[in-house]
Amino acid sequence: MTQNSELRTPQPRVLIIDEIHPSVFPMLESIGVEADYRPKIEPAKVCEALAGFDGLIVRSKMRITADTLKYADNLKFVARAGAGVDNIDADALQERGIALIGANEGNRQAVGEFTLGLLISLMRNIVRGDMEVRNKVWLREENRGEEISGKTIGIIGYGNMGQSFAKVLSGFGCRILAYDRYAPEKITSPAENVTLEELQLEADIVSLHIPYIKDNLGFANEEFFRGFKKKIWFLNTSRGDVVNQEALVINLKEGSIKGAALDVLENEKLDTLTEQQLQIFNYLAQANNVILTPHIAGWTHESYVKINEVLVEKIKELL
């Protein structure tokens, strides 16, 4: 054995347990990381499989807990290929000195554009009008909509997604207010930094861009909706658990919410809805002032690749 081979550092190895865009493999190779791709691995087998690996890349297959990591004797990082890390126990990683890597930057443009699309579709009755015309119903006056220009838009949560939405709105001649209770220092032009109470007083449109953490569970509840002075248009492209859907439905029925667009739901496994959840879902599904989409705000062909670029760059910096 030569002296050089004795000093050579072993190549870092990463286990990938979810389907991921194939662009990740040459990217990882370019920074000297070996990928072991097992997208069909059963969640129960991930624990033992992690032994010896330097990193783990996961999407939504499973929740990563302390128990998942018990055999991860060499793990340096867990990387979430997507926005949000609510399926990863951050405290468990911190206790083990394992870094947590997210890729929110990878799909922020997708979310900003999609949220704008939802807003325009909602305020201009595009989905409803399309369905009516397909059924040979031609109603112009009944589908008269509203313009974004001149409105006050309240963005709650001003991280990557909230900032992206503000950016795409900036050319519409609207006033943008932003509230972020964790990082108010992030709020800069084109948004104005306001309190939640100020936002509730002024907003015509409200869009949620907050993460799902314990403190945000049911954030948009009855008290939240009652706090608005005006009738509002409501958007949620963040996480379903941050909205109390029963409170949302109550306010839709009462007319204090003009319409809602939801890309996320409290329970997205629609074949497992409880009786109460089913009643709420049925109302939302039948309401002509509600738009429902299947958690696709950040899901584009471009973002699928951008997420890999963000993750690999962060892994490179870490290693």
Verify whether residue 108 is a known catalytic residue.
Answer: no
User: Annotated catalytic residue: which of 198, 295, 309, 313?
Assistant: 295
Catalytic residue among 108, 209, 239, 266: 239
Catalytic residue among 268, 275, 309, 317: 268
- For the record, the structure tokens of 164 come out as 């992206």
What is the distance between the alpha carbons of residues 144 and 125, in angstroms, rounded to a whole number? 8
Type of residue found at 313 = E
Task: Give the integer Cα–Cα distance in Å for 271 and 82.
Answer: 24
* DSSP secondary structure string for all residues of 242-266: GB-HHHHHHHHHHTSEEEEEES--S
CA distance 109 to 161: 8
Q: Treating both helix axes as pointing N-terminal to C-terminal, what angle do 160-169 and 108-123 enclose, rounded to 10 degrees?
A: 50
Q: What is the dihedral of CA 245, 250, 254, 257, to 10 degrees?
A: -20
268 tagged catalytic: yes
Tallying the residues shown for the chain, one arrives at: 319
* Cα gap 255→64, rounded to integer Å: 41
Distance CA 300, CA 111 (A): 9
Q: What angle do CA 107, 168, 129 make, to 5 degrees?
A: 95
Question: Is 223 labeled as catalytic in the residue annotation?
Answer: no
Yes or no: say if 13 and 53 are a contact pair by the CB < 8 Å rule.
Answer: yes
Which residues form the catalytic set? 239, 268, 295
